[in-house]
């Protein structure tokens, strides 16, 4: 498949882009990079009004609140051919858990059918579109870059090879694997605030593994984990300009590296914290 398959006789996929709340509120560049990628892959991208997938309620003992939010999403996004999220965590909540939330509900079948067309970004690009640009947008072959496999994406949605395949195709990059790449970074939603010290130990372990890999950049598919990792790297080395940079994979795949890495100062506006 090429970058612009418009000559295909088939109707272009109509995509509902669900950016997730962290991306919406903290790092819009991931949302734009996702849209760019989907458009390059020949899709039409739509952004209906959206908020939370319900995970925060789901994991905090509020199944009723979750169902209300879930049904909202099903209605808001039901019209599109596919729903794509740059997140395995929120994607996992929808795809894995919405059906069980509606197991005793007359809307169950509608929800199940909806969930079948929901995809995490890298899975959608590889498994549905088999996306491969004619040439890599950027060349990171000389960089040492490692990848953090976020838990829900890895274990609920089986995301492991997809990002690595795409990084090779889009950025000519072979990932340098760190130790324990599949171990949790300690974010865990409200966990990182409620169990702050345990979470700190976990993210410290993660950051040590990242640094020991020799990477200058760590990528991942979930902004929340990346906020945790970047925040720790920056706290540990506030004055080191060469500290490991943290980015979402969508930004790299889209070749959009002009936005400073997460939490890093802009070269023009420059100033740390």
Partner 1 sequence: MSQVQTQEPQPDFIIRSRAALEDNHLQEALEKAGSGFVYKRQAAIERIGNFEQLRDQARQVRVRALKHLDLYLLHFEKKVQNAGGQVHWAETPEQMREIVIGLCQAQNAKTATKGKSMVGEEVDLNEALEAAGVEPQETDLGEYVLQLAHERPSHIVAPALHKTKAQVQSLFRANHALGERALDEVADIVNEARAVIRDRFLQADVGITGANMLIAETGTAAIVTNEGNGDLTATLPRTHIITTSIDKIVPTWEDASAILRVLGRSATGQDITTYTSFFTGARSERDKDGPEQFHIVLLDNRRSELLGSEYEEMLHCIRCGACMNHCPVYQAVGGHSYNSVYPGPMGAVLTPLLRHEEQDNQLPNASTFCGRCESVCPVRIPLPGLMRKLRDREQREAKHASVSTLAVKLFCRLSRHPVLYRRLTHFSLKLVSMIRGRKSRFRTLPLMSGWSRHRDFPAPDNGSFQSQWQQRHKGTNHD
Touching partner 1, residues 185-214 (CB under 8 A): 186-203, 205
Candidates 3, 24, 81, 127: give the one binding partner 1 (CB under 8 A): 24
Q: Reduced to 3 states, what is the DSSP secondary structure of residue 213?
A: coil
Pick one of 108, 110, 127, 155: the residue that binds partner 1 (CB under 8 A): 155
Residues of span 27-46 touching partner 1 by CB under 8 A: 27-32, 35, 45-46
User: Applying CB under 8 A, does 161 fall inside the site for partner 1?
Assistant: no
The two beta strands, 118-120 and 82-85, are parallel
Subset of residues 231 to 270 that bind partner 1, contact rule: CB under 8 A: 231-232, 234-235, 238, 260, 262-266, 269-270
Given 2, 59, 144, 208, the residue binding partner 1 (CB under 8 A):
59
Please, which residues have CB within 8 angstroms of residue 123's CB and are 6 or more apart in sequence? 91, 157, 158, 159, 162
Of the candidate residues 48, 144, 172, 216, the single one contacting partner 1 (CB under 8 A): 48
* Residues 219-238 interacting with partner 1 (rule: CB under 8 A): 227-228, 230-232, 234-235, 238
Number of residues forming the site for partner 1 (CB under 8 A)? 80
- As measured in angstroms, the least distance from the Cβ of 196 to partner 1 is 4
Residue 226: name the closest of 153, 174, 132, 173 by CA. 153
Q: How far apart are CA 87 and CA 73, in angstroms?
A: 16
Instruction: Return the structure tokens found at 223.
Output: 């902004």
| DSSP-H helix ranges across the chain | 21-26, 28-40, 55-58, 63-77, 88-92, 98-101, 108-116, 121-123, 151-157, 161-171, 191-194, 196-212, 223-236, 249-253
Which span (2-10, 57-65, 168-176, 248-256) binds partner 1, by CB under 8 A?
Answer: 57-65
């Amino acid at each position: 498949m090429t970058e612009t398959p418009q000559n295909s006789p088939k109707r272009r996929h109509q995509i509902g882009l669900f950016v997730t709340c962290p991306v919406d509120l903290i790092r819009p560049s991931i949302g734009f990079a996702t849209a760019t990628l989907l458009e390059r892959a020949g899709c039409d991208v739509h952004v209906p009004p959206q908020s939370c997938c319900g995970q925060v309620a789901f994991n905090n003992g509020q199944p009723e609140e979750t169902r209300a939010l879930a049904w909202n999403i099903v209605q808001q996004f039901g019209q599109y051919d596919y729903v794509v999220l740059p997140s395995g965590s929120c994607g996992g909540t929808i795809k894995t858990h919405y059906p069980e939330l509606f197991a005793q509900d007359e809307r169950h079948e509608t929800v199940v059918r909806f969930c079948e067309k929901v995809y995490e970004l890298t899975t959608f690009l590889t498994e549905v579109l088999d996306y491969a640009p004619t040439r890599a947008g950027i060349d990171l072959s000389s960089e040492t870059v490692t990848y953090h496999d976020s838990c829900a994406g890895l274990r609920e949605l089986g995301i492991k090879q997809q990002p690595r395949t795409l990084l090779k195709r889009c950025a000519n990059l072979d990932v340098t694997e760190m130790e324990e790449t599949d171990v949790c970074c300690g974010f865990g939603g409200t966990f990182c605030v409620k169990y702050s010290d345990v979470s700190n130990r976990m993210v410290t372990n993660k950051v040590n593994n990242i640094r020991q890999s020799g990477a200058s950049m760590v990528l991942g598919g979930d902004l929340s984990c990346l906020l945790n990792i970047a925040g720790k790297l920056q706290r540990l080395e506030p004055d080191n300009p060469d500290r490991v940079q943290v980015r979402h994979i969508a930004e790299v795949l889209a070749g959009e590296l002009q936005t400073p890495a997460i939490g890093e100062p802009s070269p023009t506006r420059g100033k740390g914290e």
